[in-house]
Structure 1
Amino acid sequence: MIQLNAYLTLVAATIVLLLGTVLVRHIGFLRNNHIPEAVAGGFIVAIALLVLSETTGISFGFDGSLQTMLMIVFFTSIGLSADFSRLIQGGKPLVIFVIAVSAMIVVQNIVGMGLAVALGQNPFYGLIAGSITLTGGHGNGAAWGAVLAEKYGLEGAVELAMACATFGLVLGGLIGGPVARHLLKKVKQPKNEAEYEVQEAFEEPTAKRKVNTASITETVGMLAISISVGSYLDVLTKDTIMQMPTFVWCLFSGVILRNIVTHVFRRQVSDETIDVLGNVALSFFLAMALMSLKLAQLAGLAAPILIIIAIQTVVMALFAIYVTFRVMGSNYDAIVMSAGHCGFGLGATPTAIANMQAITKVFGPSHKAFLIVPMVGAFFVDISNSALIKIFIEIGSKLGG
């Protein structure tokens, strides 16, 4: 095992992003289906590392602390970009999207647990291959996997959760583009992005921004304050009814700080700088997450779990096409939100953002999608998912879990 420290892990992530950029630029399938660069590059590197390990016995380990921090920085930047005046604009569509996402959580758990029972497995395995890891992601999977292992004696729960979450992360990035491509045939495509003068945060990551030393210094300071407060709130609420993932508290702290600075102190915040730093953190987080895939672990999953994950992927795509797209308005904004829903419905919110960016940088901005999806994916979905998981655990215990 060759263990790379944080600096070398960052170098490796940079190589992954450069490789992904080249692949997407030169391979029509990736480009036409809007596969994010980090997904393309990360998956190829993960395969290469698996082959290297199997043929030579040499394997690589990557420092995970930087990846965690980048994820927190990204979510905090979303909080800092959330002006209350914009959140109010979310209004009814925000509520509808929360309901749609919650409905998908219920569907995932019914499908997962139903298939597990039908295949002769413990229903809790289906719950792990349901919203615990697919909507919840790695952090949620580790937390609930530990609960199922300790309280219900489910063997290998944490390891299985990590494998399912990893698989979901890849699949969430892979199906978002094709789903959007299918839906784009149903609506009139928007204007070319070059015709748009307004460039909202996270919507056009390749656009030029007005960033200077002062704005970077101020934004880094706001990020540091928000992360510090969020981390303190995380410790304060641990093992209480208010317990949530650390990044949620950091996002929440960012929202509060942003609006205090904007509406109390009447100081203009540099959205351009928040945009740049947030997108940099997002790109490197995805690259690190994907290049760290343990494909050997995924290959070792039992056939029933692979079947469940495969069917969950099809169900997510169908739900995005026939439910999310329709309830969100059957328009271009709905297409971008459907691609985003595929991202965090199977993987994580950063994957959702990457999916949406892959669409908007080709077909034009979707302010509505980038207003609603990050807040739902990073905040509301965790609350809804946790409540529903508790209900399904009770159901699973009665089914023999």
Structure 2
Amino acid sequence: MVIEVNMIQTVALGVIMFLIGEMIVCRIQWLQKYCIPAPVVGGLIFAIVHALGVQSGVFAFDFNQTLKDFFMIGFFSTIGFMASLRIVKQGGIAIIIMLFVSIVMLIIQNIWGVSMARSFDLSPLIGLSAGSISLMGGIGTAAALAPIMEANGAEGALTIAVASATFGLVMGGLVSGPIARYLIDKNDLHRKAIAGDSRRRNYQKCYANLVIEDDDPETIQTKDLSKGFFLIMIAMGVGSIISLLISKTGIVFPAYVGAILAAAFIRNFADSYRLTLPQREISAIGNVFLSIFLVMTIMSLEIWKIGGMAIPLLVILLGQVILLTLYTIVVVYNVTGRDYDSAVMSAGFYGYAMGATPNAMASMSAVVAKYRRPSPKAYFTIPIVGGFAIDLTMSIIVLGHMNLLIAGIL
């Protein structure tokens, strides 16, 4: 029996599963500890039930996902609204270095994934789906880009990407803290930081005085909510035209790229004329859009299609964990200064390069709490790079890689 679900019912069902997921996350401590999002929990529960129905031949759902792209593009436009050049300039060289090492790791994640997929005679696009889009990109980026992989012949790419992103969230929370502790204890960084405080005070950039405007979605102004919504709609509309022009080049790009560019232009135009945008309200709307988009995507996962790829996927992901660990210790720590702040930033880097920015912030919080020493530099740099700077560059690199694979160049 096939159950037809129209577009309104699909959204309503997604909201219900999100609320169920939120209730479960609130009651299970380890889900909170590893920053597993409520949409993932609720969506996976439904996907498992759906898989049981399909495999038993009793029932199957046919979703109308028309509104999924609306929520996806709306969410990614809110990332564009965070892309303030004024704020990035405050961080100076630290942000540039962290973005550079992130881009290098992004490429390494893709190369490893594609190489291992080919060694198992799988589509290289499957390996790309278990690479940066699901790890450094996170579940939101995985859910947005993996369908493009599927459209180009990588069957099961969406399920692979979401599974990889969920794995990354857990491992990002497990490994990042111990890396920082290893670096700090091995190199006696805590004592050196205390000893060098007076010597550095006169010349080191004071990151504690740099601020990112308060975009905490927990506190919003009702009067600005409609203004934020209207700005998102404008960015989406203008962005659709930009995306249409990009598509005419023949290069495959996700539909949300235009919206990100349009929103970034609006943000920097406002900054240049000292206009204040309702950032908290935009973030709140973005969180709602992301939750609905994710749960709609995960509900429709066809889990039963990836049984034969379980072992290759495990090999790829374990390799990603090892590669990222070595890269963080050998490269990130050394190029960011080889000091206490570098160790804390290393934890943050691993957190978002394997999982998501919330993982990064949680890991850094655990580190500074253990050593009872703050790291304003890490707390300023990591959210900017992991929160939006790497997202702005990821689509270009990943889609460029994908187009080269499709063309047979790589």
Q: Does 1:306 align with 2:310?
A: yes
Q: Residue 69 of structure 2 corresponds to which residue in structure 1?
A: 68
Contact 1:201 1:275 in 2 (8 A): no
Contact 1:115 1:126 in 2 (8 A): no
**Deviation (angstroms), 1:245:** 2.3
2:395 alignment partner, one of 367, 373, 382: 382
Q: Residue 194 of structure 2 corresponds to which residue in structure 1?
A: none
**Deviation (angstroms), 1:391:** 5.5
Q: Residue 301 of structure 2 corresponds to which residue in structure 1?
A: 293
1:161 alignment partner, one of 157, 161, 169: 157
Give the 3 Å change call, closer, same or farther, for CA 248–310 of structure 1 in structure 2. same
Contact 1:200 1:367 in 2 (8 A): no
**Deviation (angstroms), 1:132:** 8.3
Structure 2 matches for 1:73-84, cutoff 5 A? 73-84=74-85
Structure 2 matches for 1:1-400, cutoff 5 A? 1-55=2-56, 57-119=58-120, 121=121, 124=124, 127-128=127-128, 131=131, 134=134, 137=142, 139-143=144-148, 157-183=153-179, 185=181, 205=217, 207=218, 209-213=219-223, 215-240=224-249, 244-264=253-273, 266-299=274-307, 302=308, 305-324=309-328, 326=333, 330-343=342-355, 352-353=356-357, 355=359, 366-389=379-402
Contact 1:78 1:251 in 2 (8 A): yes
Structure 2 residue runs of 5 or longer lacking an equivalent are: 185-189, 191-210
Letter in 1 for 2:381: K
Measured in 2, the distance between the counterparts of 1:44 and 1:34 equals 17
Give the 3 Å change call, closer, same or farther, for CA 53–39 of structure 1 in structure 2. same
1:281-323 Cα distance to aligned partner (Å, 9 max, x none): 1222222222222111222xx3xx4333212222333344342
Measured in 2, the distance between the counterparts of 1:139 and 1:21 equals 22
Which TM-score applies when normalising by structure 1?
0.75
Measured in 2, the distance between the counterparts of 1:172 and 1:164 equals 12
Give the 3 Å change call, closer, same or farther, for CA 233–322 of structure 1 in structure 2. same
Contact 2:36 2:166 in 1 (8 A): no
Measured in 2, the distance between the counterparts of 1:256 and 1:74 equals 16
Contact 1:81 1:201 in 2 (8 A): no
Measured in 2, the distance between the counterparts of 1:228 and 1:47 equals 36
Contact 2:129 2:146 in 1 (8 A): no
Contact 2:240 2:258 in 1 (8 A): yes
Which TM-score applies when normalising by structure 2?
0.74
**Deviation (angstroms), 1:234:** 0.8
Letter in 1 for 2:393: F
Larger radius of gyration: 2
Cα RMSD (Å): 3.5
Identity percentage over the alignment? 23
1:14-57 Cα distance to aligned partner (Å, 9 max, x none): 22222222322322332333322222222222222222333462
Letter in 1 for 2:5: L
Measured in 2, the distance between the counterparts of 1:45 and 1:392 equals 34
Contact 2:146 2:161 in 1 (8 A): yes
SS for the counterpart of 2:4 is strand
Measured in 2, the distance between the counterparts of 1:132 and 1:361 equals 25
Contact 1:75 1:250 in 2 (8 A): yes
Letter in 1 for 2:142: G
**Deviation (angstroms), 1:249:** 1.6
Structure 1 residue runs of 5 or longer lacking an equivalent are: 148-156, 189-197, 344-351
Give the 3 Å change call, closer, same or farther, for CA 63–125 of structure 1 in structure 2. closer
Contact 2:252 2:403 in 1 (8 A): no
Give the 3 Å change call, closer, same or farther, for CA 38–199 of structure 1 in structure 2. farther
| Aligned residue pair count | 361
Letter in 2 for 1:100: V
Give the 3 Å change call, closer, same or farther, for CA 90–323 of structure 1 in structure 2. farther
SS for the counterpart of 1:65 is coil
